[in-house]
Amino acid sequence: MNIFVCVKQVPDTETKVTPNADGSFIETSSIKWIMNPYDEFAVEQALLIKQANPAANVTVVRVGSVKDTEALRTAMAMGADDGILVEAGDNLDSFSIAKALKGAIDKSGKSADLVFAGKQAIDDDCLQVPQILAQMLNLPSVAVVVGFELTGSTVKAKREVEGGALEVYEVATPCVIACNKGLNTPRYASLPGIMKAKKKPLAQHSLADVGVSDADRRVKYSGFRLPPEKPAGKKFDATDAAKQRDVVAQVVGLLRTEAKII
């Protein structure tokens, strides 16, 4: 069984984002890169399947810059067997990334039985790549998955929708599964795992190698800027129990008269 896991490298969630000088992207020089948090659930799910099916092979694929290979090394340290890196800039659009992932999977010579990805990357927040990739691979997909069971070649996947309701899908492999928080508890990479990861095979391709060119760009970004700052608000002291009611009544009053919200 061949399992592919698509991962992305993104700025850490505590990063303060600053647009670059010409607004064409963000300043990336001082960013701490991590594996996209949702991709950790994807890697973990693949490894859980591998535990139950020792013959399974887990390949982790990433499209992005070479200057830091944190995400791939982390995934291999967690237990993925091998990796594929498609070298690209940091500001590629979803269509190009999906096409590059498909190209990389095709080029591996293995036919995918399962493709896992995080439901979205927390940098561009597009929530597109798994669905586009599924369409390009002509595979069914289930996105925002919080429950996964594999029995033989049948997948039962729970997809979380509005208000926390769950759609329970049944689908035969091969298929694409986009993972959400809550699916599992991703393992930490062990020290021996980290040492072993250094020796695991990592294939590298250019975008051209996997058939992607500038003509594949569908979404153009420009004018990166910080959101407008709100003017300072009003602050009330309700630490004194005797004045609490007056203070709260005043705020509630302002919500109606000033903010006109309620």
Q: According to CB under 8 A, which residues from 192 to 221 bind another protein?
A: 215, 217-221
Distances (CA, A) of 215 to 7, 49, 96, 159, 205: 23, 37, 9, 34, 18
Sole residue written with tokens 């309620």:
262
> Considering only residues 41-100, where is the footprint of another protein by CB under 8 A?
93-95, 98
22 binds another protein (CB under 8 A): no
- As measured in angstroms, the least distance from the Cβ of 82 to another protein is 27
SS3 107: helix
**CB of 1 or CB of 254, closer to another protein:** 254
> Considering only residues 1-20, where is the footprint of another protein by CB under 8 A?
11, 13-17, 19
Take residue 79 and report the two structure tokens written for it: 């237990």
Number of residues in contact with another protein, rule: CB under 8 A?
A: 91
- As measured in angstroms, the least distance from the Cβ of 186 to another protein is 12
**CB of 52 or CB of 161, closer to another protein:** 161
> Considering only residues 98-137, where is the footprint of another protein by CB under 8 A?
98, 122-129, 131-132, 134-136
Sole residue written with tokens 């080029």:
107
Take residue 200 and report the two structure tokens written for it: 């695991």
- As measured in angstroms, the least distance from the Cβ of 46 to another protein is 19
Judged by CB under 8 A, which of 6, 7, 143, 179 binds another protein? 143
SS3 142: strand
- Other beta carbons within 10 angstroms of residue 110's beta carbon come to 14
Name 30's Cβ contacts closer than 8 Å, sequence gap at least 6. Answer: none
Give CA–CA dist 93/63, Å, rounded. Answer: 11
